[in-house]
Amino acid sequence: MSESILNIDSITKSFVKNIVNVHGNNEDERYFIIDDLDLLVPKGKITALIGGNGAGKTTLFNIISGFVESDSGTVLYNDKSNSINISKMKPEQIARIGIGRMFQDNHIFQNLSVLENMLIADSNTFGEIPINSFFRTKKNKEVEENKIEKAKEIFENIFGNNNSFWERKNDKAKNLSYGQKRLLGLTRLLMGNYQLLLLDEPSAGVNASIIPQIMEIIKSFVDDKDLTVFLIEHNMKVVLDIADFCCFMSHGKIAALGTPDDVISNDEVRKIYMGA
């Protein structure tokens, strides 16, 4: 494999479950969701992460993006020049050094307008001291105008001129359809200054007719913007179509790794995905 952007090194994560044991007493049982997992995510490629429901894929993303702390192990993020240990960093710090994320369930600012949803995702807002954003100074206005221009361009590049997103820019985001929200969630990532994007099932729950569009967008992240994509995906067609590499997660470990074709022919993978 080429150079890696993320080195995941023996990450372990367990949760505690309260059970009643054979003597009828309460007892805490520890169960491991991620068990000594190692993985290198190659730079400038699309890597897909697959696995059954509850395999711990989202938990792994939560660890990378700082929402969940692992029990042990480290995550190294290889920036352009140096390598940073992000295992103990807070979500907002991790976002600021260039790791963007899209959630499995639609996370969107429901009561903000479509345009405001884009503006707030701009990397210039990152790490800003709240007080600096209080006043509409001349400089703030200029920054804002640039951001609006940027948002417009992004919409036009992806959805063409006269796209419905720009037409509906002042609509509240909650009035968009589920699929439109997902598309907005994806496009928003282009407002930030990211190197690595973690996408949690971008094609989940959307109409089959939108899936090619979603695949186009993800491919353009890598081809046009030189980003790296780490993608959780249940739709095997999407994985086969766009992923350069594929890893299969099972029992808390990476059980199979390689090109999508290789991994799909793995027996355990076939059992889960093809029922065979």
Partner 1 sequence: MFLQFIANGIVIGSIYAIVSLGFALIYNTTKIFHLAYAVLYMFCPYMILTFFHGLGLNLFISFTVAIIITVFLSVIMEFLVYRPLAKKESSLNIMLISSIGIMIVVTNIISLFYGSETKILNSEISKTFTIGNIILTYAQISQVSISMILIVVFLLFLKFSRFGIMTRAMRDDDVLCQVLGMDIYKMRYVLFALSGLFSAIIGGLVAYDVGMDPYVGMPILVNAVVALIIGGIGRFEAPIIGGFIIGILQALSVWAFSARWQDAVTFLLLIIFLLFRPTGILAERKRLV
Ligand X SMILES: Nc1ncnc2c1ncn2[C@@H]1O[C@H](COP(=O)(O)OP(=O)(O)OP(=O)(O)O)[C@@H](O)[C@H]1O
Give CA separation, 12 vs 60, 130, 150, in Å.
10, 36, 40
**Which residue among 21, 25, 81, 111 contacts partner 1 (CB under 8 A)?**
111
Nearer of residues 129 and 274 to partner 1, judged by Cβ: 129
Q: Measured between alpha carbons, how far is 169 from 146 in angstroms, rounded to an integer?
A: 16
- Beta bridge pairs of residue 99: 196
- Beta bridge pairs of residue 6: 41, 77
169 class by beta-carbon count within 10 Å (0-12 exposed, 13-18 middle, 19+ buried): middle
CB neighbours of residue 54 within 10 Å: 9
Binding-site partner at residue 266 among ligand X, partner 1, Mg ion, none, CB < 5 to 8 Å by type: none
Nearer of residues 58 and 266 to Mg ion, judged by Cβ: 58
Q: Is 182 in the site for partner 1 (CB under 8 A)?
A: no
**Which residue among 10, 83, 85, 140 contacts partner 1 (CB under 8 A)?**
140
Size of the site for partner 1 (CB under 8 A): 38
DSSP H or E run through 179: helix 178-188
| The length of the chain, given as a count of residues | 276
Q: Is 59 in the site for ligand X (CB under 6 A)?
A: yes
Binding-site partner at residue 275 among Mg ion, partner 1, ligand X, none, CB < 5 to 8 Å by type: none
Q: Measured between alpha carbons, how far is 83 from 65 in angstroms, rounded to an integer?
A: 16
Which residues make Cβ contacts (< 8 Å) with residue 231, sequence separation at least 6?
46, 47, 48, 49, 198, 199, 202, 218, 243
**Which residue among 39, 43, 56, 260 contacts ligand X (CB under 6 A)?**
56
Q: Which of residues 19-38 bind ligand X (CB under 6 A)?
A: 33
Q: Is 136 in the site for partner 1 (CB under 8 A)?
A: yes
Binding-site partner at residue 108 among ligand X, partner 1, Mg ion, none, CB < 5 to 8 Å by type: partner 1
**Nearest-CB residue for ligand X:** 58
Binding positions for ligand X, rule: CB under 6 A: 15, 33, 51, 53-59, 104
Binding positions for partner 1, rule: CB under 8 A: 65, 67, 90-92, 95-96, 100-101, 103, 107-112, 116, 119-121, 123, 125-131, 133-136, 140, 144, 174-175, 178, 192
